[in-house]
Structure 1
Amino acid sequence: MRPFGLLSIALVVVVCQILYGQESASPDRLRQMASEYYRWRNQNYPVASSEEGLHSWDDSLTDYSERAIGARRQHVNELLSQVKAMPTETWGRDDRIDWVLFRAQLEREAFWGRILKFEETNPQTYVNECSTAIFSLLKKEYAPPRSRALAATARLKQMPALLEQGKQNLKKPVRLYAQLAIESARSIDSLFGASLMTLAKDLSPEERQELVRSRDAALAALHGFADWLEQGLRGMATFSPMGEENYNYLLKNVYLLPLNAEQVAMLGEAELARYQGLEALLPEPGLADPDTIPRDQQAFLAAYESRESEMIQFLREKALVTLPPYLGAFHIRQLPEAFKPTNPGGFMNPPGLYDKDGGGFYFIPTYNPTSRNFYIRAAIEDPRPILGHEGIPGHFLQLSIAKHLQNEIRREHRDGVFIEGWALYTEEMLMRTGLYPENSAAQGQILRLSRYRAARIGVDVNLHTGKWTFSQAVNYFMEAGGLDREAAEGE
C-alpha cells in the first residue's frame, strides 16, 4: 500500500477518535453516565434503596465481602477518572454545574473508600445495615404487610453471614464507633420484636415460624457481634482522624467550599461568639435551659403534631416561604432505641427519592421527664424550635422540594452544607419574624441551638484534623456549646 494511502487511513482513524471522544464527552453522555451510576448504586446498596423508597431489592442486604467492596471501589474510581477527563470548556453553564455536582458525588464515594474505609474501621456499618434493613420495611405501608414480612425474613436470614463479614473486614476498628455499635446492637430487640411482628398478621403458621426463627438467629448474631467488639475494645484506637490534608481535600472536592480547615474553624468561632453574646442578653439565663414537663409519652408526641399547623399558618400569614401543593404530611414518631446512641436528639426522614408519597417523619426520643438530654428537655418545653429546623420550613420542606427537581443529577445531590444551612437560616428567620415572643423560652432555645451548632464547627474541624482528642471535643461541646454530656457525645 502507498504511503499516501496509509496516511489517509491514519487520518480517518484519528478524526473518528476525536469525533467519538467529543460525543462521549457531551452533556448528554454525562447525564447517561450519571443515570447508569445511580442504577448501579441502588442495586449494590439494597438497604439504602429501601430507605429511599425503592423497593426492588427488599429481600437483600449489601454484600460486604472483600471482593464486593473492592469491586465497588474500583468502579467508582474508574468512573470518577472518566468524569474528570471530560473537556467541559465549551459546555453551557448549567451543563458544567451538573458536571461539577456529579463529580463531587463520585469524589465523596471515592474519598469514603480511599480514606475513611468504614468497612474496616466502623462497626456501625454492619449494625446499621441490620437495623435499617428492617426499619425501612416498617416505616411506610408501601406494600401489604405479608409482602414486607417475607422480605424481612429474607433479610434476617442473611444477617449472621453479614456480621461474620464484618468481623473479617474490621482490621482497624475505632473504639468510639465500636462502643456506639455495641449499644445499638444491644438495643435492637424491640425493633426486631414488637415492631417487626406487626407485619406478621397475614403470614401462614409456617411463614410466621420461619420469621421468628430467622429473627432469633439474627438477634443472637447481633448480640454476639456486640460481645466480640466488647472483648477487643482495649486494643482499639480511641479515634482515627483523617488529618488536615484529607480534611481540606474533602472541603474542596466533596463539599465544593472555597475554604480550608483553618478558615472554617474561624467562621465557627465568630458565630459562636455571636450566639453566646445574644444568649447572654436574655433577662433570665434559664430560658435557654428547658425544664417543662408534659403528662406522658402521648402528650409529648401530640405536642409536636399540634404545633405544626400553627407554624404553617404563621408562614402563610407572613408570606415567608411558598409551600408547594405536593408537600406531604409530616408525622411525629417515637425513636427506636436501636438508633438512639448515634441520634440522641432523634432524626428526620424526608420522603425518599423514590417514594411514591410525599410523607415524612421526625423520630423523637422516648419521653423521659427526668432526662438531662438537651434535645428531650427542649422538646418537652416547646417543640417549635426543633420542629422548625427538622420539619416545616426546615429540612422536610427543603428536601421535599428537592425531590421534585427534574434534573436527575441535582435531585440526587444532597449537599449537607446547603441542607443544614437552610434549616439554620429558617430557625433564626422564625425568631426574627415574631413566631417566638421576645425573651421567651422558645427564643432561648433558638439561641442555644445556634450556639451549640456554631461550637460543632470547631469540634468537627479539630476532631477530624487530629488537633483534638474525642474527650477534648466533648468537653468543648459542653462548655462552649452548652450541651449536656449525653447530647455532646451523641453529636
Structure 2
Amino acid sequence: MTLLDEFVGWYFAEHPVRAALLGADGYDRTLGDFSEAGFTARERAAERWLERLSAEPAATVEDEIDRDLVTSQLRGTVASARWPEWRRDPAPYLGAIFGSLFTPFQQRLKPEAELVEAAVARLAEVPDVLAACRENLDPDLAAGLLVTRGLDQARTARRFLTETVPGEVADPVLRARLAAAAEPAAAAFDAFVTFLDGFRAGGTWRMGEELYSTLLREREMLGYGAAELHEKGLRAWDEIDARMREVAGRLGDGAWGEDWRAAMESLMDDHPETLEAMRAEYEAETLRARDFVRDRGLVTFPEGEECHVLPSPEFQRPILAVANYLAPPPLSASRTGVFFVPFTPDGSTPEQVRQRLRTNSRAQMPSIAVHETYPGHHWHLAWLAANPRKVRKIFRTPYFLEGWALYVEGVLHEQGYFDTPATELAHLDCRIFRAARIVVDTALHCGDMTIEEAETFMATKASLSPGTAKGEVSRYCAWPTQAPSYLTGALEIQRIREDFSGDLRKFHDQIAGSGGLPLGLARRAVIPAG
C-alpha cells in the first residue's frame, strides 16, 4: 500500500458521507463524528498528513501530480483551521444530513431495500449531529447571516425527512419503515429550528484578505492573492462590457443602442410561463447541446453517460437560486448525472417565481445548459470518472470544475452555437456575471464592500433581479473564494490551450480527463516540462 492509499483510507474513514457519495463501499450507514473532539482530531491529523506527504518522493510525473493534488487540498485544510467553519456555520452539519439522505435515492446505485436500511441508520444519528452543532457553534465566531441561512434550510427538514425522502421509495412497507425512522430526526430538527431562531451570533462571515490570499496561493495554486484577483475581475468586466455593447447594438434594429442592460431586461421578459415549463425547455436545450457537441467532434463521449433534467430538491431551494449539477459517483460504474433546474422555495410569491423565470429566460437557457451539461459539468465529470488514478476522482477544485464549464461556453460561442444576437448577448451576460462575482467576492471578504453594495453591484453590473442578487451575495458570504473560480479558471484553461500541441478534441479529452486539478497542475498534466 502506498502512502497515498493509506491517506485515502484515513480520509474516507473520517469523511464517510463524502466517501459514500463518491461511490466507495462500506461508508453509507453513518454520518460520522461531528463532535468538537472529532473536528480537532481531524485538523491535527491533516497537519501530520501534510508533513508526511510533502516529504514523499514521486516516481513519475503522474505520481507527482497526484501527491501535489492531495497536498494542495491539505494546505487548504490546515489554513482554514484558523477560521473553523464548524464553529461558525450550521452548514457542515446540515449539508451532511441532507446530502446523505437525498443523493443516494437520486443515484440509485444499490437496491431499494439497501438504500432504505442505510437511510434508517443515518436518520438514527441525526439528533446527535444536531446536538453537536448546538454545542459547537460559538456565538462569538458564528455569523448571523450564516445562521439565518442554516435556519432557512433547517425549516425544510421536517417535510424533507418525513415526506420527500420516503416518497422516493416505491415499496410501501419500506416507505413506511423509512417514514417511521424519520420522525425522531424530524423532531430533533423542530427543536433545532427553535435553537437557531433564538441563537444570537456576534461573529463575522468576512474571511479577511490574509486567509483568502493564502487559499488562492496554497490550495488553488494560483500565483496571486486577493488584491490581484480583484483587479483581474475589474479588467475582465471592462473587456466583456465592451463586447456586450457591440452586440446590443445589433439587437432590435438598434433599439437599445449600446445599452446591453436594457437589452437584457427586454430579453428576460421572454421566459417560460411556469417552473415546470422552464424545466421542460431546459431538457430540450440539453439535448440540443449534446447533439451539437457530438456533431462537431469537440469531445469524446464516455460510454453509457446520461443526464437527467429535474427540479432542484426542496432543501436546496432556500439557499441556492441558480442551476446546479449532481455528478455520477466517480468510484462507481454509473455515468448518470442530474441537472437541477432552480425552482423557487415553497411559499414563494408569484412575483418571486416570475423573477426566477426571468433569470432563466429563453435567451439565457443555451449558455446555462451548456455549462451544466454538454460539454460542461456533466460531460466532464462523466469523462474523468474513467481516470484510473483514484485521487483524481476524489479531490477536485472549483477553479478547474467551474472554470471548465465556463471555458466550454466560450468554445461553443466560437463554434457558432449561440447563433442569434439574443443568445450571444446572453452568453456574454453569463460571462460578465462571473467577472462581477470576482469583484464582489474579493471585496466582500477583504472588507471593501458591504452586503448592500454587493447586491447593488450584482443587480446593475450583471442582469440579475434584486431577489436573485440577494441570494447570490448571501452565497458569496457563506462560501468565500468559490465565486471567482468560474472566470478565473476559464481564462487559465484558455491559456493552457494556447500552449498545447494538438487538435481541440485531443486537448479537451486530455485536460478534462486529467481530473479537476488546480490550474498549475492541470498545465503540468497536458504540457510536458521543458
1:349 corresponds, among 299, 306, 326, to 326
Aligned residue number for residue 167 of structure 1: 134
Structure 1 length as normaliser, TM-score?
0.85
- Asked if residue 468 in structure 1 is aligned to residue 449 in structure 2, the reply is yes
Return the match for 1:294 from 272, 292, 303: 272
Residue 295 of structure 1 deviates from its aligned partner by 4.8
The aligned counterpart of 2:184 is 217
Cα shift at 1:375 = 5.8
Q: Describe the SS at the equivalent of 2:165.
A: helix
In the alignment, residue 304 of structure 1 is paired with which amino acid? Y
User: Where does residue 104 of structure 1 map in the other structure?
Assistant: 72
1:26 — aligned with what? Answer: none
Shift of 1:358: 0.3
Counterpart position of 1:365:
342
- Displacement of 1:209 in angstroms is 5.4
Q: For 1:204-228, what per-residue CA distance to the aligned partner results, in whole angstroms no more than 9, with x for missing partners? A: 4xx6655333312212222321221
The code of the aligned residue for 2:202 comes to: M
Other structure's SS at 1:116 match: coil
Cα deviation, residue 374, structure 1: 6.4
Greater alpha carbon shift after TM alignment, 254-263 vs 429-438: 429-438
2:360 maps to which residue? Answer: 379
**8 Å Cα contact 2:327-2:337 kept in structure 1:** yes
- Residue in 1 that maps onto 2:53: 83
1:478 correspondence with 2:459: yes
What secondary structure sits across from 1:414 in the alignment? Answer: coil
* Residue 197 to residue 409, structure 1, CA distance change in 2 (3 Å): closer
> How much does 1:355 deviate?
2.7
- Cα deviations by residue, 1:304-339 (Å, 9 ceiling, x for unpaired): 2222222222223333x1232325111111112211
Change in CA separation of 1:476 and 1:115 when aligned onto 2, cut-off 3 Å: farther
Give the Cα separation in 1 of the matches to 2:356 and 2:390.
35
Matched, 1:306 2:254: no
Structure 1 stretch displaced more, 456-465 or 44-53: 44-53
Residue 426 of structure 2 aligns with which residue? 445
> Residue in 2 aligned with 1:61?
31
- Counterpart Cα distance in 1 of 2:377 and 2:175: 38
Which one of 228, 239, 243 corresponds to residue 208 of structure 2?
Answer: 243
Contact 2:162/2:183 (<8 A) preserved: no
Deviates more, 1:306-315 or 1:389-398: 306-315
Matched, 1:277 2:242: yes
Residues 94, 53 of structure 1: alpha-carbon distance in 2 compared, 3 angstrom cutoff? closer
Bigger-Rg structure (1/2) = 1
Other-structure match for 2:525: none
Amino acid paired to 1:468: M
Superposed counterparts of 1:10-25, under 5 Å: none
Q: Separation in 2 of the partners of 1:366 and 1:92?
A: 47
* Residue 507 of structure 2: aligned partner: none
CA deviation string 1:245-304 (max 9, x = no partner): 222211111000011211111110011112222222313445423122435444332212
Candidates 218, 222, 229, aligned match of 1:257: 222
TM-score by structure 2 length? 0.79
Contact 2:275/2:343 (8 A) holds in 1: yes
1:101 and 1:413 in contact (8 A); partners too? yes
Q: Secondary structure, in 3 states, of the residue corresponding to 1:326?
A: coil
1:463 offset after TM fit, Å? 1.8
Unmatched runs of 5 consecutive residues or more in structure 2: 473-530
Give me the whole-angstrom Cα distance separating, in 2, the residues matched to 1:297 and 1:330: 19
Q: Distance in 2 between matches of 1:230 and 1:297?
A: 30
Aligned partner of 1:15 in structure 2 is none
Tell me, yes or no, if the aligned pair for 2:272 and 2:357 is still in contact at 8 Å. Answer: no
Q: Quick check: 1:288–1:447 contact (8 Å CA) kept in 2?
A: no
**CA distance change for structure 1 residues 461 and 294 in 2, over 3 Å: closer, same or farther?**
closer
Cα deviation per residue 1:332-385 (whole Å; 9 max; x = unaligned)?
A: 111122112331113111212223210101111227874467664243425221
- What is the letter of the counterpart of residue 111 of structure 1? A
Which residue number corresponds to residue 40 of structure 2?
A: 70
CA RMSD of aligned residues (A): 2.4
CA distance in 1, matches of 2:119, 2:64: 42
Instruction: Tell me by how many angstroms 1:160 deviates.
Output: 1.1
Contact 1:60 1:154 in 2 (8 A): yes
Deviation at 1:166, TM superposition (A): 0.5
Q: Does 2:197 correspond to 1:230?
A: yes
2:362 is the alignment partner of 1:393? no
1:192 aligns with 2:161: yes
User: CA separation in 2, counterparts of 1:423 and 1:375?
Assistant: 22
Query: Which amino acid counterpart does residue 340 of structure 2 have in structure 1?
Result: F
- 2:21 corresponds, among 51, 69, 78, to 51
Letter in 1 for 2:452: S
Report if the CA contact (8 A) 2:79-2:214 is conserved.
no
Pairing 1:266–2:231 present: yes
- SS of residue in 2 equivalent to 1:332: strand
Instruction: Give ranges in structure 1 of 5+ residues lacking alignment.
Output: 1-28
Residue 416 in 1 paired to residue 416 in 2? no
The match for 1:18 is none
* Other structure's SS at 1:344 match: coil
Q: AA paired with 1:149?
A: V
- Partners of 1:365 and 1:96 in 2: CA distance: 40
Deviations 1:423-470, CA, capped at 9 Å, x for gaps: 112112222322122312x22321221111101101221222233333
Change (3 A) 1:374 1:288: farther
Residues 254 and 327 of structure 1: CA distance in aligned 2, closer, same or farther (over 3 Å): farther
Alignment pair present for 1:318 and 2:296: yes
**Alpha-carbon distance in 2 for matches of 1:375, 1:402:** 32
- Give, as a single letter, the amino acid of the residue that structure 2 aligns with 1:52: L
Q: Distance in 2 between matches of 1:109 and 1:135?
A: 26
CA distance in 2, matches of 1:95, 1:50: 25
Query: What is the one-letter code of the residue matched to 1:96?
Result: E
Alpha-carbon deviations, 1:44-94, whole Å to 9, x = none?
222222322335222211211122112211111101011233466xx6544
More divergent stretch after superposition (68-77 vs 207-216): 207-216
User: What SS is found at the alignment partner of 1:362?
Assistant: strand
In structure 2, the partner of 1:120 is 87
Identity %: 24
TM superposition shift of 1:108: 2.2
What does residue 19 of structure 1 align with? none
Q: Distance in 1 between matches of 2:455 and 2:394?
A: 33
